[in-house]
Amino acid sequence: MSKLLALLQDGRFHSGQALGEALGISRSSVWKQLQRIEKEFDLRIHKVQGRGYRLIDPFVPYDRERLASTLKDIGWTLHLHDVVDSTNSEALRLLGQGIEAPFVVLSERQTGGRGRRGRAWISPAGQNLYYSLGITIHNGPHQLAGMSLVIGLAVRDALHRLGVPDVGLKWPNDVYASGRKIAGILLELTGDPAGECHVVIGIGINCNMSAANSAIDQPWTSLRNELGKGIDRNQLLLVLSESLRGYLHRHEVEGFASLRLEWEANHIWHGLVASLSAGDREIVGEILGVDADGCLRLLVDGSERTFSGGELRLRLRDDS
């Protein structure tokens, strides 16, 4: 994290002279660094003559030592970045380099964040959680079945523990609060899915993002909106990691079948009529729930059918 950016993180005005003295550089050098910060981190800096500079959207940066120490206690290592293209992409690169899992990749900003079906994930600096967990799977079919749904349960549990009301899930990997999307999940696999392989679990959570800097093309909310105050992302990360560890362990030992009823109880579209599409194919049916492998169960023309696949898109029918 830039030392200059750290000085500005409180959102208060700081004069160019004071910033220069704190950093041991000239005022002109301060100005050049501010321009670089605006470009590199995509942050907005308010400039007022006679008062100085301040971040329009203040934030609390990640505490590297605190996070690394706590994650080490549960056997995970931390890879923290100021900027990456995508935490999932970085995690896949680390696995390709032989870095041992489990590990967490975390970044203040993403330049190429992505969701399912190649959609862009809006990633302003310092506002949200961009988190990827790389793990090793030893029993592919057993451990992979329903995994994205289990991750959704872990995210829901973490948000609930932080006080967010009315958190629910949408098949297969979206998390909602008050009827609006608050988090998304993207799983990517490398290796042999029938045996030992690696899975990168990507999680994006809207934390302190404001509508003013959002280009999201669907109804959304954030922790700040739901709680009425800003959230410390360090606390969120630690609570989330604890939830993930617990749910992943239960999933590994007992399988998704043991978590199926819990997932269905938190599915916000249960019993509604939805349209399921993959490419140019569209199927309309009533959502019955999921099966023991996490596949979607739909009542289509009086018969129950199951569906699975990362490229499927589920939308509510207008008359639901």
- Binding residues for biotin, by number, are 86-88, 110, 114-116, 181
- Label the pairing between strands 103-110 and 77-84: parallel
Q: Which two tokens stand for residue 319?
A: 């008359």
- 181 as an active site residue: the answer is yes
Which of the following is catalytic: 109, 116, 233, 260? Answer: 116
Which of the following is catalytic: 32, 36, 66, 315? Answer: 315
Scanning the chain, the segments in alpha helix (DSSP H) are 3-8, 16-23, 27-41, 64-73, 87-96, 140-144, 147-161, 223-227, 233-254, 260-265
Within 8 A by CB and 6+ apart from 158, the residues are 236, 239, 240, 242, 243
Map residue 184 onto helix, strand or coil.
strand
Which residue ranges are tagged as binding site?
A: 86-88, 110, 114-116, 181
Map residue 269 onto helix, strand or coil.
coil
Do 79 and 71 contact (CB within 8 A), yes or no?
no
Q: Residue 302, exposed/middle/buried by CB under 10 A (0-12, 13-18, 19+)?
A: exposed
CA–CA distances in Å: residue 130 to residues 77, 80, 175, 249:
16, 10, 15, 22
Within 8 A by CB and 6+ apart from 8, the residues are 14, 45, 53, 54, 55
Q: Residue 287, exposed/middle/buried by CB under 10 A (0-12, 13-18, 19+)?
A: buried
CA atoms of 316 and 257, how far apart (whole Å)? 26
CA atoms of 298 and 287, how far apart (whole Å)? 5
Which of the following is catalytic: 44, 181, 224, 245? Answer: 181
Do 74 and 245 contact (CB within 8 A), yes or no?
yes
Active site residues: 116, 181, 315
